[in-house]
Amino acid sequence: MASYLKKFSRLSWPLLLTTLFLVAAGVLNQASASLGGVFFKKQLLWFSLGGGLLLLLALFDYQKLLSPRLVFGGYVLLLVLLIFLTLKHTRWLRLPGFSLQPSEFAKLFLIFISSLILSRQEESLRLKTFWQLSLFSLPLIGLVAITDLDQGGMLFLIYLSFVLGAGISRRLILGGLILVFVLGVSLGPYCWKLLKPYQRARVEAFLNPEAFALDRGYQIIQALIAVGSGGLKGLGFKEGLSSRLNYLPEKHTDLAFAVWAEEWGFIGSSLVILAFFFLIYQILKLGIQIREPLGRYICYGVAAMFFWEVFINIGGILHLLPVASVPLPFLSYGGSSVLVNLAAIGLVLSISQRRYSFR
């Protein structure tokens, strides 16, 4: 008992309390978005399971859990599963009574495998390490992108964050930018044709939503109306008109932040955004404090994951980016997303209680 109390005392309480605040905000948001219906009840169950997973991982030694054999074995199994789902033309793994989205779990394995590779080198990223990182990352990204382009893009951003954060040389950065420019110019029109109709519609609606107000641009326009109608203080819990009158499509998933903004206003929205940035700051701070390379890169990868999810989701709702099917952590409905996000926080908490052991 004393050993467990000692572990609890070493946890990063600012990180844990911030996570609990965002979970509470997610519970309130889903209670309103689904009017206490089936999605709300399911989300409560996922939060309960995710909370147990967070606690278990927080008290577990992350170095034993993330041993090269276990991570590589899980990585291979995930690749096999993604190939199977690709052949079935689906992104969901259907199980009795519930479904899981393997592309969400791919984020964790991308962070794990990248951290293991980069933890073996302490200097700036060398070409050999860069190719090793790419060899394991790009097949995972490609398989996810085939059935879920939005999540594939998320994985690519996490991969890119690792590449840039690992201290890549200026020559590689310059060469990569030149390569991206050349490929963009030469293959851009061809890639546009390869996009599915709904994906092209998203880009067209982003560029000119008013021209497609009744179909492609409807989601963007209604999200902006909901955010704007919240004003300074919001309309109140369960009082959002856009949500109650079902003007907001996908209000419990992609547009969950629009529901929150309408009901809690600018003040409530700012509070949630600040909580996300404080969460990311605490994770990066722990990564700086721990001298063990694997723990440091895990923190960096988890921080990158949360940053890009928040940026893409809220950016789409505020019409700064095209709307993408990337859930807002904790506030959007989704069992796989909840499990992955709380598991990631659990691993960072495990790192936090050992941050002074390597000094």
Q: How far apart are CA 317 and CA 221, in angstroms?
A: 9
Angle at 44 between CA 255 and CA 92, to 5 degrees: 65
Residue 238: predicted pLDDT: 86
Reading the block at residue 247, the tokens are 């003007």
Q: How far apart are CA 284 and CA 324, in angstroms?
A: 26
**Residue whose token pair is 């990180």:** 15
Enumerate the H helices of the chain as residue ranges: 2-10, 13-33, 38-58, 62-65, 68-87, 102-118, 127-147, 149-165, 170-194, 197-207, 218-229, 241-244, 256-289, 293-317, 335-352
Residue 312: predicted pLDDT: 95
pLDDT over threshold 70, residue 122:
no
Q: How far apart are CA 198 and CA 325, in angstroms?
A: 12
pLDDT digits (tens, 9 = 90+) for 21-58: 999 999 999 998 877 678 888 999 999 999 999 999 99
pLDDT digits (tens, 9 = 90+) for 60-104: 889 888 988 999 999 999 999 999 998 888 888 888 878 889 999
DSSP 124-174: SPPHHHHHHHHHHHHHHHHHHHHH-HHHHHHHHHHHHHHHHHTT--HHHHH
